[in-house]
Structure 1
Amino acid sequence: MQFTFPETLPDLLPFMAGVASLLYGLAALFAPRLMLRMLHLGPVGPSIAGLSEVRAMLAGFPLGSGLVMLFFYDQPLLQIMLGSAWLFVAFGRLVSILSDEASTIANWCLLLLHLALAAACLAPAFGLVQA
């Protein structure tokens, strides 16, 4: 299998969303405490077991899906998979903003970022972006 870099916009968008997912996953994997501080979260109690959850869920899934997207960025089903994952992340954030009184500038900016990552994957998959 030969790795090639994307040359067209429909290939570049999901590739860059994969890079963003990969970077997010790497940050959560190697700096879980920093990730918690950035998200304004903290461990509950004296146990550090929550760090394994950060490394597993906040790092593992985006790291794995982002890495796969880097190699198979031109596959529509993978574009739909990663795009729908980011879309549901955005949906969860919107529900939190509306129901948990979490309407902060940081949450709105992250919502826009998640929507942009979802659109970067879904637009080429559905033919909304042409070369």
Structure 2
Amino acid sequence: MEFYFPTEFGEQLAFGAAAFTALAGFVIMFAPGLAMRAFGLAPRGERREGFSEVRSMGGLYLGLGVAAIMLAQDWTYLSLGAAFAMAAFARIISILSDKGSTLLNYLLLVVQMAIAALPLLHVFGFLQG
């Protein structure tokens, strides 16, 4: 089996979003303490359940990113884009409802919107080259 790398520019951008997602998921899954500090989170006291939740989310990112890379189909890119679009929408709700108007939240919103946009623009034909 050969490794597939797209030749079309739009699909390369979608592929890049998937690769970034997989890489971020790998880091979050295997270095949850580092990821939690980067996002301004910390477990409380002796309770370590936060690490499980963060690792689990990292595994989800890793799995979704790797699936999009390995399958390289419009439906997997659509899933990736839709998932990040909903995550960005949830972040907007948090910014407006939870007093989450911080620089980090706005930066992560931009990142999530970009990761959502790249595969969705490819799938819907806006990045034809």
| TM-score interval, smaller chain | over 0.9
Spell out, residue by residue over 1:76-100, the C-alpha distance to the aligned partner (whole angstroms, 9 max, x if none).
1111100000001101111111111
Output aligned runs, 1:1-131, within 5 Å: 1-57=1-57, 59-73=58-72, 75-131=73-129
Distance 1:76 1:117 in 2: 15
- What is the count of residue pairs matched by the alignment? 129
Amino acid at match of 1:5: F
| Structure 1 position 53, deviation (Å) | 1.4
Distance 2:100 2:47 in 1: 26
Distance 2:32 2:39 in 1: 10
Stretches of 4+ moved more than 2 A in 1?
none
Amino acid at match of 1:9: F
Percent sequence identity is 40
Amino acid at match of 1:71: M
| Structure 1 position 55, deviation (Å) | 0.8
Amino acid at match of 1:120: L
The answer (yes or no) to whether the contact 2:19–2:65 under 8 Å persists in 1 is yes
Distance 2:92 2:6 in 1: 32
Q: List alignment gaps of at least 5 residues for structure 2.
A: none
Question: Given the two structures, how large is their TM-score scaled by the length of structure 1?
Answer: 0.93
| Structure 1 position 104, deviation (Å) | 1.2
Q: List alignment gaps of at least 5 residues for structure 1.
A: none
Question: Given the two structures, how large is their TM-score scaled by the length of structure 2?
Answer: 0.94
Bigger Cα displacement from structure 2, 37-46 vs 108-117? 37-46
